[in-house]
Chain A
Amino acid sequence: MADTGVQRSGLRAPGAATLNAEHGARSFAPRPVRERRWVVVRRALSARLAPFGGLVVLLAVLAAIFAPLVSPYDPLQQDLARILAPPGGDHLLGTDNVGRDILARVIWGTRVSLVAGFVSVAIAAVVGSLLGLGAGFWGGRVDGGVMRLMDAILAFPPLVLALALGAVLGAGLTGVLIALGVVYTPTFARLMRGQVLTIKAREYVEAARVLGAPNWRIVRRHVLPNAATPIVVQASLSVAFAILAEASLSFLGLGIQPPEPSWGSMINAGRGYLQQAPWIVFGPGAALFVTVLGLNFVGDAVRDALDPRLRV
C-alpha cells in the first residue's frame, strides 16, 4: 500500500533505484501493485493465529450487521416468568434478572462494541493523521502548537481522560466515541508527524518540488501514500483497546445506558447476581474477551504483513 503513491507518481523510491543499479534490475524490480497486495494478504494469513482472529472478527461483524435476523429474541423483551433461567433449553446463554435473553443481548451488544471500536479509532486516525501531517509538513509554530497539545492530552491517564470527557459530554454512544477519539488522537498524530518528517527529506519529494509540484500535490501523491502503513498498523492494533475502553466506560455507567444492550453495562448489571446467576456476567464477558483476542491476532497479523521489522 505504501508504494502505491510512488508508483502512480511515476517517481521511484531512491533506495529501489540504487539497488537496481547495483544488483541488476531483474531481482530488485518492483513487483506490480496487485501482486504486492497479495503478498501482504498471504503474509497476514500465514501468521499462526491470524485465521482464528479473522474468523472471530468476521463472526462478530456478521452478528452486528444481521443482529435482527440472528438474534433469537428481542434484547429488550422481559419475561418475568423466566427470571435468572440457567443456560440451556430455549435460552442458550440463560436469562438475566428481568428475564431478558442473554444471547440476544450479547448479539445486539456486538453492534455497540464494534461501532465504538472502529468509529473511535477512525476518528482518531483521521484527526490525528491530519494534525500530524500539518505539524510535520509545515513545521515551526504549527508543529510546536500541535505537538504540545498532543503532549498535554498524553499527560492524562487514558481511562481517566475518557471518564472526564464522558462525564462532560454525557453518557451515550456519541460521548464515548468522541472521548475515545480524543484519547487515541495523539498516538496517530505523533506517528504521522514522524513519518512526514522522514518522507519530506527524501529525494523523490525534493524531485517533485524541483519539478514545480504544489504542496497539496506533494502531500497527496507522495507523503500520504508513503506514510499510510504505520497508521494502518496502529489503527488495526488500536481497535481492540478501544473496544475494551468502551466496555470499561459502559461498565462504570458512562457509556451506553440500560436497557440498551452493551457488553460492559451487561457485565456491570450482572455483578450483583454472581452467586445466583454467574452466566449474566460470563456470556458478555466471554464475547468481549474472544472478540478482543481475535482483533489482537488480526492486528498482529496486519503489523507483521505490512511491516515485518516490527514483529515481536
Chain B
Amino acid sequence: MGTLVLRRLLASIPVLVLVTAGVFSLIHLTPGDPVEAMMGESQDPVAKEALRRQLGLDRPLYVQYAVWVGRVLQGDLGRSIRNNEPVVENIGRRIRPSIQLALFAMLISLTVAFPVGILSATHRNSPVDGLGTMFALFGICMPNFLIALLLIFVFGVSLRWLPISGYVDPLQDPLAGIRSLTLPAVTLGLALAAVITRTLRSSLLEVLSEDYVRTARAKGLADRLVIRRHALKNGLIPVVTLLGLQFGTLIGGAVITEYVFALPGVGRLVVDAIFSRDYPLVQGVILLISIGFILSNLVVDVVYGWLDPRIRYG
C-alpha cells in the first residue's frame, strides 16, 4: 500500500510542475500587453510601470517563473489587482460557501442516486428502469444553468417557496442557511445524481450476473439480502472512484451555480476575477483548484487500490 502511495505521489510531481507552468503562462498567453489588458482604459504610465514591476513582467521569463514558484511554495499567491488584498485571503473568505454547497449537493445526489440506481438495476427493462434511465439522461443532457433557471422559475418565482439568490451561512442561521443553499445544491446535486445513477446501475447489473450472486440466490437468500450483502459491496467500487473524480464536475458546476444564484463562493470568484482581468487572482484560484483536483485524484487512486487489491498489485 505504501508503495502505491509513493508511486502515485512521485507521478504527481511532473504533473504539478507542468500545471504550475501552465497557470504561470496564463498571463503571458493574453494577446498584447497583459498590463494594458489589466489596467483597461487607464493611461497612467507610472501606474502601469509599477504594476509591471509588481508582477515581475520586466524580468526574463524563466526568472519570473522561478520567482513565482518560489513565492507559491511559501504560500504567497500575490495580491489581487482589484482590492490589493493577498490572493490567499480572497480565496479563504470564499471557500466556506463553496464547501457547504459541495457537501449539500453531494448529499442530495447520493440520496437520489442510490435508490434510483439500485431500483433500475434490480428491475432491469421494467418501467421503473425506464424512469431511472430517463432521469439519468435528463440530468446528463441538461446544463447546470438551465436546471438552475427551471428551479428558480418553479420554486422561486412561481411558488415563492425558496430564495433565488444570496447566501446565509448555515452555521450562523441553520434554517435560513439551508433555505439559501437548497436550490443551488439541488441544481448541482441533480447533475451529479444522474452520473452516479448511470454508473451504479451498470456496475450493479454487471455484478448481478456474477456466479456468486447466482449461488447466493440458489441457496435461498432473500433478494434484499443478496443486493445488500453481495451485489452492493462490489458494485460500489466504481461509484467510489466516480465520487472522487467528480470533484472537477463539482467545481465546474459550482462556477455556474454560484454565478446564477449569486453565492459568494470560489466558483463565483473565478468568474469575477476573469471579468475584471485580475490575473494574479485568476492564477491563484486556478492553481489551488487544480492542486485540489490532483490531490482528489490521488486519494481516489489510493482508495481504489485499498478497495481492490488487483489494482494495488497490477
The answer on a CB contact under 8 Å between A247 and B143 is yes
Binary interface profile of A, 148-168, with partner B (CB < 8 Å = 1, else 0)? 110111011111100111111
The answer on a CB contact under 8 Å between B256 and A251 is yes
The answer on a CB contact under 8 Å between A288 and B247 is no
Whether a CB of chain A sits under 8 angstroms from the CB of B57 is no
Residues of B14-68 whose CB lies within 8 A of A: 14-16, 18-19, 21-22, 26-27, 29-31
Whether a CB of chain B sits under 8 angstroms from the CB of A211 is no
Among B97-105, B107-115, B217-225, B287-295, the one that faces the other chain is B287-295
Whether a CB of chain A sits under 8 angstroms from the CB of B190 is no
The answer on a CB contact under 8 Å between A289 and B142 is yes
* Interface hub of B143, B149, B289 (most chain A Cβ within 10 A): B143
C-alpha gap A153/B19 in the complex (Å): 8
Output the least CB separation between A243 and chain B (Å): 9
The answer on a CB contact under 8 Å between A267 and B198 is no
Whether a CB of chain B sits under 8 angstroms from the CB of A248 is yes
Whether a CB of chain B sits under 8 angstroms from the CB of A27 is no
C-alpha gap A274/B19 in the complex (Å): 40
Output the least CB separation between B221 and chain A (Å): 27
Q: Please classify the interface of chain A as helix (H, G, I), strand (E, B), loop, or mixed, using the class held by over half of its residues.
A: helix
Interfacial chain A residues near B270, Cβ < 8 Å: 160, 163
Residues of B198-229 whose CB lies within 8 A of A: 198, 202
The answer on a CB contact under 8 Å between B146 and A160 is no
The answer on a CB contact under 8 Å between B18 and A157 is no
Whether a CB of chain B sits under 8 angstroms from the CB of A296 is yes
Interfacial chain A residues near B255, Cβ < 8 Å: 159-160, 163, 252
Q: Known: A156-B19, A160-B255, A248-B256. Is A148-B152 also a contact (CB below 8 A)? A: no
- Contact partner of B137 (CB less than 8 A), chosen from A159, A163, A293, is A293
Output the least CB separation between B177 and chain A (Å): 24
Whether a CB of chain B sits under 8 angstroms from the CB of A170 is yes
Output the least CB separation between B241 and chain A (Å): 15
The answer on a CB contact under 8 Å between A281 and B149 is yes
Which A-chain residue is minimally distant from B292 (CB atoms)? Answer: A157
The answer on a CB contact under 8 Å between A164 and B282 is yes
Q: Known: A152-B22, A164-B282, A252-B259. Is A274-B143 also a contact (CB below 8 A)? A: no
C-alpha gap A163/B252 in the complex (Å): 10
Residues of B236-286 whose CB lies within 8 A of A: 247-249, 251-253, 255-256, 259-260, 270-271, 274-275, 277, 282, 286
The answer on a CB contact under 8 Å between B274 and A254 is yes
The answer on a CB contact under 8 Å between A244 and B137 is no
Whether a CB of chain A sits under 8 angstroms from the CB of B140 is yes
Output the least CB separation between B81 and chain A (Å): 14
Whether a CB of chain A sits under 8 angstroms from the CB of B304 is no
Interfacial chain A residues near B274, Cβ < 8 Å: 163-164, 166-167, 254
- Contact partner of A157 (CB less than 8 A), chosen from B143, B150, B202, B293, is B293
C-alpha gap A240/B152 in the complex (Å): 25
Interfacial chain A residues near B22, Cβ < 8 Å: 152-153, 156
Q: Known: A160-B270, A164-B282. Is A288-B15 also a contact (CB below 8 A)? A: no
* Interface hub of A165, A254, A312 (most chain B Cβ within 10 A): A312
The answer on a CB contact under 8 Å between B152 and A274 is yes
Which A-chain residue is minimally distant from B297 (CB atoms)? Answer: A155
Whether a CB of chain B sits under 8 angstroms from the CB of A87 is no
Q: Please classify the interface of chain B as helix (H, G, I), strand (E, B), loop, or mixed, using the class held by over half of its residues.
A: helix
The answer on a CB contact under 8 Å between A155 and B282 is no
Binary interface profile of B, 64-84, with partner A (CB < 8 Å = 1, else 0)? 000000000000000000000
Whether a CB of chain A sits under 8 angstroms from the CB of B135 is no
Output the least CB separation between B230 and chain A (Å): 22
- Contact partner of B143 (CB less than 8 A), chosen from A163, A275, A288, is A288
C-alpha gap A149/B15 in the complex (Å): 7
Whether a CB of chain A sits under 8 angstroms from the CB of B157 is yes
Which B-chain residue is minimally distant from A49 (CB atoms)? Answer: B137
The answer on a CB contact under 8 Å between A248 and B18 is no
- Contact partner of A285 (CB less than 8 A), chosen from B146, B152, B253, is B146
C-alpha gap A264/B290 in the complex (Å): 26
The answer on a CB contact under 8 Å between B275 and A253 is yes
Which B-chain residue is minimally distant from A153 (CB atoms)? Answer: B22
Output the least CB separation between A57 and chain B (Å): 13
Whether a CB of chain A sits under 8 angstroms from the CB of B306 is no
Interfacial chain B residues near A151, Cβ < 8 Å: 14-15, 18
Which B-chain residue is minimally distant from A296 (CB atoms)? Answer: B141
The answer on a CB contact under 8 Å between B15 and A296 is no
Interfacial chain B residues near A264, Cβ < 8 Å: 145
Interfacial chain B residues near A247, Cβ < 8 Å: 143, 145
Whether a CB of chain A sits under 8 angstroms from the CB of B144 is yes
Whether a CB of chain B sits under 8 angstroms from the CB of A106 is no
Residues of A145-203 whose CB lies within 8 A of B: 148-149, 151-153, 155-160, 163-170
Whether a CB of chain B sits under 8 angstroms from the CB of A54 is no
Output the least CB separation between A281 and chain B (Å): 5
Whether a CB of chain A sits under 8 angstroms from the CB of B153 is yes
- Contact partner of B18 (CB less than 8 A), chosen from A148, A164, A168, is A148
The answer on a CB contact under 8 Å between A293 and B286 is no
C-alpha gap A155/B18 in the complex (Å): 10
C-alpha gap A268/B30 in the complex (Å): 26
C-alpha gap A252/B282 in the complex (Å): 16
Whether a CB of chain B sits under 8 angstroms from the CB of A86 is no
Output the least CB separation between B253 and chain A (Å): 8
Output the least CB separation between B106 and chain A (Å): 16
The answer on a CB contact under 8 Å between A240 and B30 is no
A-B contact sample (10 more), CB < 8 A, given A157-B247, A160-B255, A281-B146: A156-B22, A156-B290, A160-B270, A167-B274, A168-B31, A247-B143, A248-B145, A248-B256, A267-B146, A275-B157
What are 9 A-B contacts defined by CB distance under 8 Å? Answer: A152-B15, A152-B19, A155-B18, A156-B22, A164-B26, A244-B143, A252-B271, A267-B146, A285-B146
